[in-house]
Amino acid sequence: MSEHLTPVIIVGARGRMGRVLIREVTQSEDYVLTGAVDRSGGPGRGMDAGRVAGTVDIGVTVSDELRPRRAVVVDFSLPSATIDNIRRCVEASVPLVLGTTGICDKTRAALSEAAKTIPIVSDANFSVGISLLTRLAGLAARALGQSWDAELLEIHHKHKRDAPSGTALRLGKAVAKATDRKLADVLCTERSGSAGEPRKDGEIGIVALRGGDSVGEHTLMFLADGERIELTHRATDRAIFARGALRAARWVESRKPGLYSMADVLGLAELR
Ligand code: NAD
């Protein structure tokens, strides 16, 4: 057992990720759950967080208001909740680990502003494998250059609200950046119609499939005449995101204010 337990408050506690996070915290010897928050209404309010997560009672009740104190807030809820959660973390001077995806530009700006005051780790994908894949995507794109066509296929469960996934966009950005492009200028998310134009040079395509219970799959392809490279990551258990987010929570606890990513947590930012 560690000498120091990282206190954690989970926001979105009743959700798919929230419940996994609660289970991971309670099974670990490095963390202690000091709060669990979900929106008002719906089942589970006032219930013990352990019971909500399908384990034993742990003496933490799910509340409908985030009032952080001396803990790291781990937020996997909804984009509409993010701005308010950021504000509450700043007011209480507590670090934030933000996993919620699909946040808008206004929220992104609020995140950057808040990072002047508190340390924040924000990442569209907290898996160690995806963090490495992102770095590999940039390295491959830089080595291959723009003449290799980059196309990305992602698959997620049918409940996912945003498309393409935050991870797919991040991989696309890594490829674009490594080859001196801006993803927004070259992104293509739809190809249909028989009278359509052929693929434009320099385009980066992303296709999103939704269905079943897929935790998340990303395949980045680099295609050239006569050969193709495929880099694939398949998540089969959402516990990988929870473990990564908790690793980030422990790391961010002692950081200076700033906006960090999982690459910083893992030290991948230095990999050239
Ligand atoms: P979910 O819909 O199962 O759960 C979201 C939970 O947030 C729900 O219980 C909902 O009631 C709660 N919620 C809504 N508004 C709230 C508010 N104002 N305050 C507190 N709680 C509120 O979704 P999920 O599958 O658990 O995913 C949650 C988020 O995490 C999504 O944005 C998803 O894309 C993202 N996600 C990120 C990663 C990552 O590694 N970054 C991995 C998986 C999922």
Q: What are the structure tokens assigned to 179, written together? A: 């080859």
What's the rounded Cα separation, in Å, for the pair 215 and 196? 33
- Whether pTM exceeds 0.85: yes
Length of the chain: 272
- Which of 66, 74, 77, 154 should be mutated for ligand 1, with most atoms under 8 A from CB? 77
What's the rounded Cα separation, in Å, for the pair 247 and 192? 42
Find residue 7's DSSP bridge partners.
32
pLDDT of residue 156: 96
Q: Which of 4, 106, 160, 182 is catalytic?
A: 160
pLDDT of residue 124: 86
Residue 123 Cβ inside 6 Å of ligand 1? The answer reads: yes
pLDDT of residue 1: 60
24: helix, coil or strand?
helix
Q: Which of 156, 173, 218, 233 is catalytic?
A: 156
Pairing relationship of beta strands 119-122 and 216-224 according to DSSP bridges: unpaired
Residue 81 Cβ inside 6 Å of ligand 1? The answer reads: yes
Return the amino acid letter for 110.
Answer: A
pLDDT in tens, the chain (272 residues): 678 999 999 999 999 999 999 999 999 999 999 999 999 877 767 899 999 999 999 999 999 999 999 999 999 999 999 999 999 999 999 999 999 988 999 999 999 999 999 999 999 889 999 999 999 999 999 999 999 999 999 999 999 988 999 899 999 999 999 999 999 999 999 888 777 788 999 999 999 999 999 999 999 999 999 999 999 999 999 999 999 999 999 999 999 999 999 999 999 877 66
Q: What are the structure tokens assigned to 192, written together? A: 């249909």
